[in-house]
Structure 1
Amino acid sequence: MCDSSAIADLLRAGLADAGTAWSLGTFGAAAEFRRSDDEDVAPLDGGRLGLVSPRGGIGLRLSEALVPFAYETALGETWSHAVALCLPDAEEIAEARSTVTALGADSEALRGEDRDALMFDLGFGLRTCVVGLRTRHPDAVDVLRAACGTPALDPQDPRLAALPRSALTLVFDGPIGRIEVAGDAGAGGPRAHVVASVLRLGRTHPATAPIPAGLVPHAHMLPPHPCKNASGTAIPFDPARHDAFQALLGRWGDPALFALKQHGLGQGERPDRMPDRWSRSVEKVAQAQAERLRACCPQAEEVAQDQSGTGQVVSGHQALS
């Protein structure tokens, strides 16, 4: 069982970092919460864990069943990273509705002033979250009520697209929390997507993510990446960001895969693990990271070579400590 206080600290640290983004949902349908360094944000009322901004918000629910799982995956010449927030496979939402359904006032809205607005389940029938639309606009309420009882309503449906964007808020709500996305959030802030063709695959996560058997990711914490900014644009390699995620990987990742990656960076013996798709991905990540560390930390490379005799490179902070 995971340490609940350590998990709370992990989540609070992520919320406090403007560079950390969040996603909640499933493979093919997810909402994301992200913010800029200077964006106006406020904590949730009632002592709840989360943040709101003018463009949306995130609220998280701590659970004894919650399992953070940090991982990296090879991505072309670079890599991606995340901390998946997982629950056991048996943990699902109370009711997965397959038709548009009126749910009444949204009493769980992140802002108090939104709790009298009406919520409609858009009918996607997902295991991990409800995809809902909240509004108090009379025309929007009429459209949604008319759709009740019909199959899933795409958020991009022409009937909704004709309404004022400011009148609609997309809500992804599940067992470990919710993300709200204002209809007029604009670029660079909270956003959401629903891709029916991907949902039909019935997967809970991409095949490249090494989520342990028996766990289902319900959300992801996405700390700042050392090679790209929040918009995905490449930036010069940032060793501090790299080290920060390695600490998360060491605490919350797969110990064998982490040891394999450390071996690839010149630290420690190769673990006794049979090669598989995950180990091959980790080896590619180690190679990509070694190249960037070698380019930005040539002195660290010399120290690593002297200490290990392997010619492999480790982080400058780690090699010189």
Structure 2
Amino acid sequence: MSENLHHVLKLQLLDIDAGWSIGSFGAIGEFHQRPCDILSLDDPDQLIRVSEKGGLRLIPGRLADVTPIAYETLSRHPQRWGQGLALCLPDNKAVAARRSVLTELGPDTDALKPEDRDGVLFDMGLDQPQIDFCIRTCDPKLLSVLRAQTGRSLFEPDNPAMSAILNAHPARVVISPLGRVEVYQMIGGPDTGGVSPDGPHTHVLPNLLRVNRTHSANTLIPDGLIPCAYLHPASPVMGHRGEDIPFDTGRFVAFQALLDRFGLPEYVATKTEVLSALEASRGDALSEPETRVKRVALRNTLRQQARLAELTNDEARTQLCALLMRQFDRSAAAGQDPDLDLDADPDRPGHEGERS
């Protein structure tokens, strides 16, 4: 399994349209690539890629402990769905330091770039189960503020450290047992017009941190497993800013192959049942599933087949999908959809409240 998974991750790292993240629910570091990036480190065999904007390193030797879970998520928009591959560890191995106060850790000797290894690493003290969310700096002014506030929560009302961090834009380093994401771009906020920079970026959202989850409830992960890194293969329906794009069948087919290999058996089996009913034009063979996993599978499959039918001008399939979507694909309006957690943005996790 680990060799096959390593090959999948290597190929995806070479695809600049795929994204990556390490984080929890409310604190996340994202690594995205663009054609204009200047690579300073590029070793896909070792699962490392670093640009002037940020970088990713996964640890190949730890893949043997990973359970990969390919998943699809519902969207509040009926023409969309999400997709990803969660790299999960058993909960007894998905363990971070869980510091709850700002803590100086010393030089970042594991920094992706050698020239950054003299930078001083601080754990921000977010107390997350599977990640340590850190910043790294050599800026004397920022170091002075941070050192004066170590041992305190960044969220104390009179703590000047958070505003100093937002003003100085230090490198952010998000570490899990499977690797790290580093982000060198500015922190999204007043200095960026309230929008995250294009490419690698981070989010710290206190309102989501208070929920105390390891991941979004929209990502269907079995009990006993905790996601410690994510691959976000290129979406067939959304661009990198969350905008609608023309349906991309190549991207769709590619992810369905990953889903067949790494998806939850219950989810994959339900999709197969729905496809069989559609092929036989037997919508009456479908009934309301009894579990959330099966309901999400049914609804996403209908959405996908509707997009495919529209693309191929299959009027009969389009009408059948529309009929079944009216029956099974409930409105995703706030408070009306038990299958969708609207506390999180299912299309762009981590971007809640951000202007597009």
TM category, shorter = 0.7 to 0.9
1:90 maps to which of 89, 92, 98: 92
In the alignment, does 2:205 pair up with 1:195?
yes
TM-score normalised over the length of structure 1:
0.86
Alignment of 1:108-187 (within 5 A): 108-152=110-154, 157-163=162-168, 165=169, 168-184=170-186, 187=197
Q: Does structure 2 conserve the Cα–Cα contact (< 8 Å) formed by 1:100 and 1:153?
A: no
Per-residue deviation, residues 230-276 of structure 1 (Å, max 9, x unmatched): 111101111111101100100110123112113323379999x9621
Following superposition, the deviation at residue 42 of structure 1 comes to 4.2
Quick one: distance in 2 between partners of 1:65 and 1:26?
19
Following superposition, the deviation at residue 106 of structure 1 comes to 0.2
Per-residue deviation, residues 132-172 of structure 1 (Å, max 9, x unmatched): 11011111111111111111369992222333x3xx10110
Tell me: CA distance 1:216–1:231, structure 2 relative to 1, closer, same or farther (3 Å): same
Q: Does structure 2 conserve the Cα–Cα contact (< 8 Å) formed by 1:23 and 1:32?
A: yes
Quick one: distance in 1 between partners of 2:238 and 2:185?
27
Quick one: distance in 2 between partners of 1:46 and 1:206?
28
- AA aligned to 1:280 is R
Quick one: distance in 2 between partners of 1:253 and 1:120?
37
Quick one: distance in 2 between partners of 1:156 and 1:179?
22
Following superposition, the deviation at residue 226 of structure 1 comes to 0.6
- AA aligned to 1:227 is V
In the alignment, does 2:6 pair up with 1:8?
yes
- AA aligned to 2:301 is A
- Secondary structure of 1:52's aligned partner: strand
- Secondary structure of 1:265's aligned partner: helix
Q: Does structure 2 conserve the Cα–Cα contact (< 8 Å) formed by 1:44 and 1:110?
A: no
Aligned residues: 302
- AA aligned to 1:49 is L
Tell me: CA distance 1:60–1:153, structure 2 relative to 1, closer, same or farther (3 Å): farther
Following superposition, the deviation at residue 212 of structure 1 comes to 1.2
Following superposition, the deviation at residue 103 of structure 1 comes to 0.7
Quick one: distance in 2 between partners of 1:106 and 1:116?
6
Q: Does structure 2 conserve the Cα–Cα contact (< 8 Å) formed by 1:266 and 1:312?
A: no
Alignment of 1:1-321 (within 5 A): 3-43=1-41, 48-62=46-60, 63=62, 64-76=64-76, 77=78, 78-152=80-154, 157-163=162-168, 165=169, 168-184=170-186, 187-266=197-276, 275-298=290-313
Q: Which moved more, 1:92-101 or 1:243-252?
A: 92-101
Quick one: distance in 1 between partners of 2:44 and 2:150?
33
Quick one: distance in 1 between partners of 2:307 and 2:217?
26
- Secondary structure of 1:87's aligned partner: strand
Following superposition, the deviation at residue 187 of structure 1 comes to 2.0
Following superposition, the deviation at residue 18 of structure 1 comes to 0.1
Unaligned runs of 5+ in 1: 306-310, 314-321
TM-score normalised over the length of structure 2:
0.78
- AA aligned to 1:247 is A
| Cα RMSD for the two superposed structures | 2.8
Identity of aligned residues (%): 35
Tell me: CA distance 1:45–1:248, structure 2 relative to 1, closer, same or farther (3 Å): closer
- Secondary structure of 1:241's aligned partner: helix
Unaligned runs of 5+ in 2: 188-195, 323-356
- AA aligned to 1:54 is E
Quick one: distance in 1 between partners of 2:47 and 2:228?
16
